[in-house]
A and B are shown apart, each in its own frame.
Chain A
Amino acid sequence: MTPLIKIKNLAVELQQKVILSQVNLSLAKGEILGLVGPSGCGKTTLLNTLAGFIDQNAGTITINTDAKAINISVDNMLPAEQRNIGMIFQDYALFPHLSVSDNIRFGLKKLAKTVQEKRCQELLNLLELADFAHRYPHQLSGGQQQRVAIARALAPQPSLLLLDEPFSNIDARLRHELMLEIRQLLKRLNMTAIFVTHNKDEVFTFADKIAVMDSGKVLQVGTPAEVCQQPNSWQVADFLQLGSWLPVALLSNGPAPSITSLLGNLEQQLINVGNVSLLDDSRHLQVLVQANAMSLSPTTSNNVIVEHISVTEQGYHYLLRSIIQDSPLAFRQLSFNSRELFALGTELAIKITAEHLLLYQAANETRNAE
């Protein structure tokens, strides 16, 4: 099946700075892609380039609609208004001088009046805005404004919908509910969408596929489960906070390498990420440990101290530091869950119980030293 949108080797430079390079992505019709990454990683630039607000310096964007394929390249730039792409802005960008229904009808001017009226009415009903049709944006609540933004973007029936941090202005309690609601709506309309967020919870709730970006590059693309279970790099695992980092040292290399840490030796359990070449340089190695992949070990001597306690619905979450601090393998913030309550400063004996661990080389020394 041909993908609805295919981005090939896309590169963008702004003021002689590389903002995006070698971006490759494709998305089937009806799929929702979440773009995540730290601030400044280029995700919003990617969105703006797709929309046509920023010109690309290399690469192609192909959009396959039912009727035709639109090819956008450096030699064939298409102005924003001819791309058939809709966008929901972070602050919604509703036209303050137009009523709700005029906002929704704004992109329908080329259609006959009766068609405009019909589609506007449908969207007002679909998004439960019928009672507010004649109000102005400033007379609406944040959630209602977002609905209007969605209705307005959907009205011209775009082939692709872009959402720029769509939930950042919604208060935390409503956010989850709204995310589910909008996801269902997009699925019902079989709408293809790309959204940007820096919130990993949003991406796991809202997306079919996620793309993790850093420094203008896409590091990994996959379903949330794939990325979660097999993060392909230290940065991906670190940004998505899939666990905490335990510094380790290599004892023996080979098909079944053996490694050691301040929590004891971790032998056969270990799974390499497939980046074996990294192990040639064995500095700054860390394994990703999930908070519930450890347990108290009555048989070994104490190896950690409780540094911080927070209460969760499942018990207590602790941040632990190693008792030994003058070793290169020392750590300060290892996450650990337990139903038992320990006082601050308590010394504990902890062991790793996970069957699979992922080994990475830390992105830089400063982070490793933390």
Chain B
Amino acid sequence: MLLASLNASNELFSHLWATVLPEYITNTLLLALLVALLTLCFGVPAAALVSQTNLVMAKQLRWLLMLPLAMPAYLVAYLYTDLFDYAGPVQRSLRAWFGWQSPDDYYFFDIRTIGGAAIVIALVLFPYVYMLTRTAFEQQDRNLLRASRLLGCDQRQSFYQIALPLARPAIAVSLTLVVMETLADFATVQYFAVNTLTTAVYDTWLGYSDLAAANALASVLLLFILFVVVAEQRARAGQRHQSSRPNNQQQRKQLSIMQQLTASLFCWFLVLAGFLLPLVLLLIMVVDYADYSQFIALLSTGKNSIEIAFYSATIATIIALFLALFQRLHQSRSRKIPLQITSFGYAVPGTVLAMAMLATFGPIDHLINDLAKALDLKAPGLLLSGTVFAIVFAFVVRFSAIANGTINAGIGQIPKSLDFAPASLGVAMVPAIFRVHLPLLKSSILVAWLLVFVEAMKELPAVLLLRPFNFETLSTQVFQLISDERLEQGALGAVLIVLFGLLPIILLNRQKDSQ
């Protein structure tokens, strides 16, 4: 992709630079900044309230606050636009109550702006910050907080001087995740007509058919991502000091009635705005517009989605298994490198990845066709770049990190001595893997497969760019309907996407609880 971007026609690129590119870059960075700030304001207080105070229903809010992660931002964007724009029920009611006649009579915020996009994206991404920060708070060594109390801090001071600074690395890691996801977002900004680098890549390729310029734009985006990845690595390095003595026994701060009320309002607002309200709106649509033809359409797109997700999950899991076993059982010092390289894929936005696939497989396809022609065979067409192969390949690259992480964590649980025990009993390495490691990794393999499957079901931008003609998946169909302002006809599919999105959250919650 980087090489292909060098071919960018100078003319078009300088034209882009002179006209829209600065605006796109500014928008991208501004959006990332706003989302980071908002998720910080949403996630950190929510984490503190749930883990450190006697908030009413804290037990339920603990997991409820994670649910917005299941909600694709573009769905929220569509539903809230419906709800809050001039013709929507909120403004209609306001006008009816106050007797306003035209938009000049009152001020109402416009959701289809960069600020609106930031709010919508932050509403579904804040759980990253919430989750990692809450875990950090809960895992802090309670003796550190006790020590600060004995040295004269009251509860409040000890939170600000010890708990919060200690959670800083976790907050930083979660913010980098949020920024990565924001930079990768395509559908929300596209729907809100906020021009960012992802929409620019898409438009340049599908609008102007200029692959080279699209590659150049994707490279710029990749540069930003690289920057965030480095920041993330550095933040993780600072996480050395999380303790093994969970802090669940600490005295929780007793909230006054007013504080209790404000805190509850705040947390429930996040749950409602980020998950429950959009879900209810979707369900209403399903009930209102359900018909048989919709169901039939859903079946065929659903089948496509499941097929792609199935292949991707299976391949990614097998690769992850190989890499993890290689790292574990191979003695060389460089054994960790393959795993680290594949883990980088997750950071790459789907749009960028799709461009890279086109840049890689396009020339190979041409080569194959030229070869076929030279051999007097029938040209096979776009064998790699124009088929499902490219999508599955892109998914495997993008989601390998998830499978790797899960399987690696599982293999970490197996005591090192079990690697050596089979040999001492006369069993060679390969049979030992089948008889010892694989059975022990069974649940990790299942979880890894499921997580990749779900992510692949949800992924949108890469499919949009790579799909063969007339090939629809659940997410592309929903997105298409959103673009055409008729989600009603695909609401059932949207609900399915949300339900699939809930799976990993339930899994994650279970794992947390069993720890």
Q: A interface vs B, CB < 8 Å?
A: 51-53, 79-81, 83, 85-87, 89-91, 93, 95-97, 106-107, 109-110, 138, 152-153, 155-156, 158
Number of A-B residue pairs having CB atoms within 8 Å of each other in the complex: 65
Measured CB to CB, the closest approach of chain A to B118, in angstroms, equals 31
Chain A interface, >50% SS class: loop
Question: Which of B2-10, B61-69, B138-146 contacts its partner?
Answer: B138-146
B23 CB-CB contact with A under 8 Å = no
B165 touches A81 (CB 8 A): no
B151 touches A91 (CB 8 A): no
B431 CB-CB contact with A under 8 Å = no
Question: Which residue from chain B places its CB closest to the CB of A83 in the assembled complex?
Answer: B150
Measured CB to CB, the closest approach of chain A to B147, in angstroms, equals 4
B146 touches A93 (CB 8 A): yes
B152 CB-CB contact with A under 8 Å = yes
Residues of A within 8 A of B241 (CB): 96-97, 138
Other 17 A-B pairs with CB < 8 A, given A89-B143, A97-B165 = A52-B149, A52-B150, A81-B149, A81-B152, A85-B150, A87-B147, A87-B150, A89-B147, A93-B143, A95-B147, A96-B240, A97-B168, A106-B161, A152-B151, A153-B150, A155-B151, A158-B150
Residues of B within 8 A of A158 (CB): 150
B149 touches A80 (CB 8 A): yes
A89 touches B146 (CB 8 A): yes
Residues of A within 8 A of B240 (CB): 96, 138
23 residue pairs bridging A and B, Cβ less than 8 Å apart: A51-B146, A51-B150, A52-B150, A53-B251, A81-B149, A81-B151, A81-B152, A81-B154, A83-B150, A87-B150, A89-B143, A90-B143, A91-B141, A93-B141, A93-B143, A93-B144, A95-B147, A95-B162, A96-B166, A106-B151, A107-B152, A153-B150, A156-B151
Contact of B148 among A90, A106, A110 (CB under 8 A): A106
Contact of A79 among B149, B161, B165 (CB under 8 A): B149
Measured CB to CB, the closest approach of chain B to A291, in angstroms, equals 39
B154 touches A95 (CB 8 A): no
Residues of B within 8 A of A51 (CB): 146, 150
Measured CB to CB, the closest approach of chain A to B322, in angstroms, equals 35
B153 CB-CB contact with A under 8 Å = yes
Residues of B within 8 A of A87 (CB): 146-147, 150
B146 touches A53 (CB 8 A): yes
Measured CB to CB, the closest approach of chain A to B330, in angstroms, equals 30
| Residues of chain B in range 97-151 having any CB-CB distance to chain A below 8 Å | 141, 143-144, 146-151
Question: Which residue from chain B places its CB closest to the CB of A86 in the assembled complex?
Answer: B150
In the complex where A91-B141, A93-B141, A96-B241 touch, is A80 in contact with B150 (Cβ < 8 A)?
A: yes
Question: Which residue from chain B places its CB closest to the CB of A48 in the assembled complex?
Answer: B146
The 4 closest A-B pairs by CB, nearest first: A107-B151, A96-B241, A93-B143, A80-B149
B153 touches A81 (CB 8 A): yes
Question: Which residue from chain A places its CB closest to the CB of B249 in the assembled complex?
Answer: A53
